[in-house]
């Protein structure tokens, strides 16, 4: 069996900012009111550009995850397929992972008094299904890819306002309007 390195692919040309992905995530994980693991942001490619695009982000399951590095109990760990998972029973709720993550992905649950984060719907993946956010995206702006075999050379590693990738190597790629392939 060939190992995968799961990654989100977000196509800003297709995203309408409807936030259905965030709602599907909230429902899938039965999150308390006000808590979300996926955010949808508006952004502009250039500050003077009047066109607004949207970006849907959650945990990026980084190749070098800071949350794993700083977790004092080992509650945050990385699997061989690249998923950064949390053993919820081991979490102390210290929030060090929240401080260390440059993307703001881990969130604190006041109800549970622990940190929660996107697990890429690992139960669904193991059952042969897509993550809830990906399945819910009616425009297919959000997809799941194998980062090691994906050949979309027009994919950008970053978008305006997204933190630098240098030390964490997040497993997300973007298709942005200015980097889109030209029609033939």
Tokens of 39: 């955010």
pLDDT for the residue numbered 1: 39
What separation in angstroms does the CA of 113 have from each of 14, 17, 72? 37, 31, 16
As a whole number of angstroms, the distance between CA 133 and CA 127 comes to 16
Which of 142, 129, 130, 121 lies closest to 55 in space, CA to CA? 142
pLDDT for the residue numbered 157: 66
pLDDT for the residue numbered 182: 40
pLDDT for the residue numbered 163: 73
Dihedral pair phi/psi, residue 16, rounded to 5°: -100, -5
Q: At a CB cut-off of 8 Å and minimum separation 6, what does 94 contact? A: 72
- Name all contacts of 121-125 with Cβ < 8 Å and 24+ positions apart: 121/28, 122/83, 122/85, 124/28, 125/6
pLDDT for the residue numbered 183: 38
Domains of the chain: 6-179 (3.30.70.20)
pLDDT for the residue numbered 89: 94
Tokens of 36: 């979300």
Tokens of 2: 């060939």
pLDDT tens per residue, the chain (184 residues)? 346 788 999 998 899 999 999 999 999 999 999 999 999 988 876 777 777 889 899 999 999 999 999 999 999 999 988 899 999 999 999 999 999 999 999 999 999 999 999 999 999 999 999 999 999 999 999 999 988 888 875 676 667 667 767 788 888 888 887 654 443 3
């Amino acid at each position: 069996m060939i190992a995968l390195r799961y990654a989100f692919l977000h196509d800003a040309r297709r995203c309408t900012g409807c936030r259905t992905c965030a709602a599907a995530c909230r429902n899938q994980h039965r999150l308390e009111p006000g808590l979300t693991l996926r955010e949808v942001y508006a952004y502009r490619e250039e500050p003077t550009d009047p066109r607004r695009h949207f970006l849907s982000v959650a945990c990026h399951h980084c190749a070098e995850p800071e949350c794993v590095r700083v977790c004092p109990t080992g509650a945050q760990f990385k699997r061989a397929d690249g998923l950064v998972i949390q053993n919820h029973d081991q979490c102390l709720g210290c929030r060090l992972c929240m401080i260390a993550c440059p993307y703001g992905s881990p969130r604190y649950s006041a109800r549970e008094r622990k940190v929660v984060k996107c697990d890429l719907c690992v139960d669904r993946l193991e059952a042969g299904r897509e993550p809830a956010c990906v399945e819910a995206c009616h425009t297919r702006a959000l997809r799941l890819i194998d980062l090691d075999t994906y050949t979309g050379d027009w994919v950008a590693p970053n978008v305006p306002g997204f933190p630098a990738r240098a030390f964490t190597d997040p497993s997300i790629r973007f298709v942005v309007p200015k980097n889109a392939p030209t029609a033939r």
